[in-house]
Structure 1
Amino acid sequence: MPSRPDLVRRVAAGVALTGALGLGALGWGSTLLGEYSVMDMGGGQAGHVHNGATGPGAASTVSVTGLIADPLRAPDVRIELVARCQTIDIPGGRPVEGYTVNGTSPGPTIRARQGDLVEAVFVNESVAAGATLHWHGVDVPNEADGVAGITQDAVPVGGRHVYRFTADDAGTYWYHSHQVSHEQVGGGLLGAVVIDPAAPPSNQHDADAVALLHVYGGQHTLNGRVQDEHVPAGPGTAVRVRVINTDQGTAAVWSAAPIRVAATDGHDVNGPAAVEGRKVLIPAGGRLDVTVQAPAHGSARLHVGGARSITIGDPGSGAPPSRQPSDTLDLLAYGEPAPLGFDPQSPDRTFDYVIGRRLGLIDGRPGNFWTINGQLFPDVPMFHVRQGDVVHMRIVNESGEVHPMHLHGHHVVVLSRDGIPASGSPWWVDSLDVHPGETYEIAFVADNPGIWSDHCHTLPHAVDGLVAHVMYEGVTTPFTINGGAGNQPE
């Protein structure tokens, strides 16, 4: 394994280019990556520790490959997922070259019940760069996280990999490749995951629909079709629509009829009120469950993502489209407060995650790259934690673009935005839009050991260095990036 000085060093050509362009005063940096391990990243930037713990050494060492679901338990849900590079037929649109799962894109929806053990056998039939499956928003054991170069090697053509996890949290999630992800996710290597509650909730809806949004070659689709959809429902029937934003930008949801936000990123909202005259925004990678009641006569139209919509109600009737509202629902104050189950005001670890931009060279590629706490990738923070820590993180966006920040393996609760404390239902997310100039305070409990990516889900931003990691004390990985296995996790 290369040493850190070998991984991060001045490149003579980069220095020469900097001097030639007269940009040295602008803070150009230069890195030459080669093959590297995420364990060499971060330079020991452990953040501020409140509980007296000072670093590695107290915990026994375990590899990410040992952080697994019960190996002796028989699966309750088992599915084989075959990835191919092929032409995708887009009903209502034109075919595109991309990636399929079991011959379609989106791939099959995986449905399980809370508490089920899910086993997914992934086969790469023809994706030349290799591929993986990441279970976005599902707090899986680290071995099943599907990040090439961190928790596994990319699965080569002709190879297979078995993912096993317990569906602990009911909700709406999705799966996608985490290898060359800006290309493979954009190209359609993805699908939906729905975990139903173990017991029907008291506010059980009458019908359920998945609305997966994706853009294929400029074509805005709903569940893989350039077409709107209809959900038949009798008068007064409550329909839960699970909107999944698999794209690179923010999606809007709205209706002329009253709607309620039932869940964000798989976590139910406590005491959701009716939303009228406002849109609700979903970050890239995020999910929003909304409930719509079929009217006494006709149908209600739910706009999802701006270009597509779903009508709910009488199959023989339509509902006119409505203009996107200018006002946005503020989820910081939506719903009713409820206990968190931990005290975020007494954290064990406190971190800053400050996003900026800087000119530089990474592997000889010049650009205006993203920075984290002022540093270019890979000289970015490694957030060290111990199991059981309460972690407080301050995310600051000093760049000029929106960043949907996604932490693997955990859900975080939003504590405040720009100093304004949360006042509604606990706002649990795994994907959070941070707009230019905004500061968010979030918190989570470190209850899932591993090495976890914490990155922007506008995936080209991750390519350009907007990715850090949360590392648990005593956890190691045998996998490397940019080596012979071809791992490129982004």
Structure 2
Amino acid sequence: MPSRRDLLRCAVVGVAVATALGAGALAWSSTLLGEYSVMGMGSGGTTGGAGHAGHGGQGAAAGGAAEASGLLDTVSVTDLAADPDRPADVRVELVARQGTVDVPGGRSIEGYTVNGTSPGPEIRARQGDLVEVVLVNESVADGATLHWHGIDVPNAADGVAGITQDAVPVGGRHVYRFVAADAGTYWYHSHQVSHVQVERGLLGAIVIEPAEPDGRIAAPTDGSPLDVTALLHIYGGQHTLNGRVADERVSAPPGSTVRVRVVNTDQGTAAVWAGAPFRVVAVDGHDVHEPGEIEGQRVLVPAGGRVDVAVRAPDRGAVRLHVGGARSIVIGDASAEASAPPVRQPSTTLDLLAYGTPEPLTFDAASPDRSFDYVISRRFGIIDGRPGNFWTINGRMFPDVPMFEVAESDVVAMHVRNDSGDVHPMHLHGHHVVVLARDGVAASGSPWVVDTLDVHPGETYDLAFVADNPGIWSDHCHTLPHAVDGLVAHVMYEGVTTLFTINGEAGNRPE
């Protein structure tokens, strides 16, 4: 029997819907998805430059998608791959399983593991290595994939079910190959039923070490780990650090500098702060130019985002770095933890728009070849018979959302505006974007280069990137339940096509 609260909620929704319909204030849309291809998704949001509208319509079966696009010379997403003849420098097998996840220090949950644990094993490679990962699906009933979040892989390796591959069924395997071109901190996760599989543990960290050592981080002299990963995840309401409901301790010689790679795999923003000065040396895998000391401020990390911070071990005792609010890392003399008590979270936030010092960009962002709007809002509608207040992009509800069509080598400008009441960590696959301005205020610090950006209610951002990685790329909110409800668009290169479909026999459900 429904509870009184459920009945009240239904009544409130019913009144709101009836009022909206009666007043004609909101336009309803009804969409039956069925099997569809992203090749047939909605129109572009061009505002100037050489941009133009992309594909229109409510979605079409993939079997005539290439013809419908009007493209004569096309390349399949599966052909956009790393050199097949080059041997791998790093080779890893990852086995995905569905079942009980042991959470040390807490209670077990039902979810997913990779090689028997969650998070799965951390993958380490060196810049320039060719990485080969074999995904084996031992028991994930809905199928699984691996997406390399933040790594600008070739499109065939992007791991998005229904766009770049079919979900790997139970008993199946799939090989991902990519060159680790950019040093930095990244993570991998499933992009099949991702709002469930990611939340319940099908994920892990990947670190690409620079070809040359970072001179800001001294090499250890006594075997102490001076480069550590801090992967944040919530398992069934339990805040964990590297999979454990516990804080961590890093023994470091006095005066040494420890690099802490914070990876936020959760659905909301995480905060990082300390009781002593520290620096943000990288954001989303890209170095900050001449980062200054931070004291009395917090650093906010979007869902899916990463920050690398450099913390100096004190001459005596230890310092506590808070990561994610509920967990922390004590750095320095492990026997002197009492010298590093918890510190209240600062109320002021570091503004990455003005942090560090300027450095020239590698492209002319002032003269884009394509310019697009990406306006986030929401409205009432019905998708597959499910009524709700769904997200819209440029006023359109999924799947009639923009397909931002570009050509290789284009400089692309994007104006993002959040007209909704929620924070949206927007994530573009296959590329990094530079933040040019927020709310009309131009960037004044180090180039702020991201693949995941929190856009708060009422905010606008001006972004730019170079279209240098051909493919069909998702551009979506990484609060994954938002993506399920339609907050996902795509960047499509001219001449690229896919034969994979969503909601068909392969069971592809990327969000």
Q: Which residue of 2 aligns with 1:157?
A: 170
Task: Tell me, in whole angstroms, the C-alpha distance in 2 between the residues paired with 1:126 and 1:28.
Answer: 40
CA distance in 1, matches of 2:28, 2:258: 53
Query: What is residue 391 of structure 2 aligned with on the other side?
Result: 370
Is the CA contact (8 Å cut-off) linking 2:53 and 2:405 kept in structure 1? Answer: no
Matches within 5 A, 1:170-181: 170-181=183-194
**Superimposed CA distance per residue, residues 254-298 of structure 1 (whole angstroms, 9 cap, x where no aligned partner):** 001101000000000000000000000000000000000000000
Amino acid at match of 1:366: P
Q: Distance in 1 between matches of 2:126 and 2:147?
A: 19
How many angstroms apart in 2 are the aligned matches of 1:384 and 1:396? 19
After TM superposition, the structure 1 = structure 2 runs for residues 137-148 of structure 1, keeping only pairs within 5 Å, are 137-148=150-161
Which of 93, 97, 117 aligns to 2:130? It is: 117
Cα distance in 2 for residues equivalent to 1:315 and 1:92 = 20
Q: CA deviation at 1:130?
A: 0.4
Q: 1:20 to 1:226 in 2, by over 3 A?
A: closer
Please name the residue that 2:503 is paired with.
482
Asked if 1:220 is matched to 2:239, the reply is: yes
Query: What is the TM-score normalised by the length of structure 1?
Result: 0.94
**CA distance in structure 2 between the aligned counterparts of 1:30 and 1:205, rounded to whole angstroms:** 59
Higher mean C-alpha displacement, 314-323 vs 463-472? 314-323
Alignment pair present for 1:77 and 2:93: no
Alignment partner of 1:138: what SS?
Answer: coil
**In 2, Cα distance between equivalents of 1:463 and 1:153:** 18
Structure 2 counterparts to residues 24-43 of structure 1, below 5 A: 25-43=25-43
Against the structure 1 CA distance between its residues 38 and 423, is the aligned structure 2 distance closer, same or farther, given a 3 Å change threshold? same
What SS does the aligned partner of 2:481 have? helix
In structure 2, the CA distance between the partners of 1:310 and 1:408, relative to structure 1 (3 Å rule), is same
| 2:291 corresponds to 1:272 | yes
> Bigger CA drift: 202-211 or 101-110?
202-211
2:480 to 428, 437, 459: 459
Q: Does 1:237 align with 2:236?
A: no
**Please, which of 311, 314, 331 is the counterpart of residue 352 of structure 2?**
331
Change in Cα spacing, 1:243 to 1:360, as seen in structure 2 (3 Å) is same
CA contact (8 A) 1:59 1:473 kept: no
| Bigger mean CA deviation after superposition, 217-226 or 197-206 | 197-206
CA-CA distance at 1:49 after TM superposition: 5.3
Give the letter aligned to residue 360 of structure 1: G
Is the counterpart of residue 305 in structure 1 residue 324 in structure 2?
yes
- Are 1:123 and 1:161, in contact at CA under 8 Å, matched by a contact in 2? yes
Structure 2, unmatched stretches of 5+, are 1-16, 55-68, 220-225
The CA deviation at 1:339 is 1.2
Contact 1:18 1:24 in 2 (8 A): no
In structure 2, how many angstroms separate the alpha carbons of the residues matched to 1:363 and 1:57? 29
Distance 1:59 1:169 in 2: 34
* Match status 1:429 vs 2:450: yes
How far off is 1:86 after superposition?
Answer: 1.4
- Equivalent positions of 1:252-263 (< 5 A) are 252-263=271-282
Aligned to 1:47: 46
1:306 alignment partner AA: G
Aligned-pair CA distance for 1:80: 0.2
Aligned to 1:412: 433
TM-score, normalised on structure 2? 0.90
Give 1:52 shift.
8.1
Identify if the C-alpha distance between structure 1 residues 177 and 136 changes in structure 2 by more than 3 Å, giving closer, same or farther: same
Alignment partner of 2:374 out of 317, 328, 353: 353
Residue 25 of structure 1 and its aligned partner are, at CA, apart by 4.1
Assess if the C-alpha contact under 8 Å between 1:174 and 1:193 holds in 2.
Answer: yes
- Does structure 1 retain, via aligned residues, the 8 Å contact 2:51–2:372? no
Instruction: State which drifts further: 238-247 or 88-97.
Output: 88-97
Q: Where does residue 92 of structure 1 map in the other structure?
A: 105
| Cα deviation digits, residues 144-193 of structure 1 (max 9, x gap) | 00000000000000000000000000000000000000000000000000
- CA offsets 1:455-487 (integer angstroms, 9 cap, x no match): 000000000000000000000001000000000
Closer, same or farther in 2 for the Cα pair 1:65/1:371, shift >3 Å?
A: same
Identity %: 74
**Distance in 2, Cα, partners of 1:106 & 1:60:** 42
Partner residue in 2 for 1:251: 270
Whole-Å Cα distance in 2 between the matches of residues 104 and 54 of structure 1?
45
Which segments of 5 or more consecutive residues in structure 1 lack a partner in the other structure?
1-16
How many residues matched? 473
Tell me how far apart the structure 1 counterparts of residues 420 and 454 of structure 2 sit (CA, whole Å). 13
- Classify 1:19/1:361 alpha carbon distance in 2 versus 1 (closer, same or farther; 3 Å): farther
Shift of 1:342: 0.3
Query: Alpha carbon RMSD of aligned pairs, Å?
Result: 1.6
Distance in 2, Cα, partners of 1:416 & 1:334: 13
Distance 1:20 1:455 in 2: 28
- How far apart are 1:201 and its partner, in Å? 2.9
Which amino acid in 2 is paired with 1:451?
I
- Note the C-alpha offset of 1:315: 1.4
Map of 1:440 onto structure 2: 461
Shift of residue 100, structure 1, vs aligned partner: 0.2
Contact kept, 8 Å, 2:46 with 2:52, in 1: the verdict is no
Aligned partner of 2:141 among 114, 128, 138: 128
Work out the CA distance in 2 between the residues paired with 1:20 and 1:416. 36
Q: 2:322, 2:123 → 1: CA distance? A: 24
The C-alpha deviation readout for 1:73-110, integer Å capped at 9, x for no partner, is 00000000000001111111011111000000000000
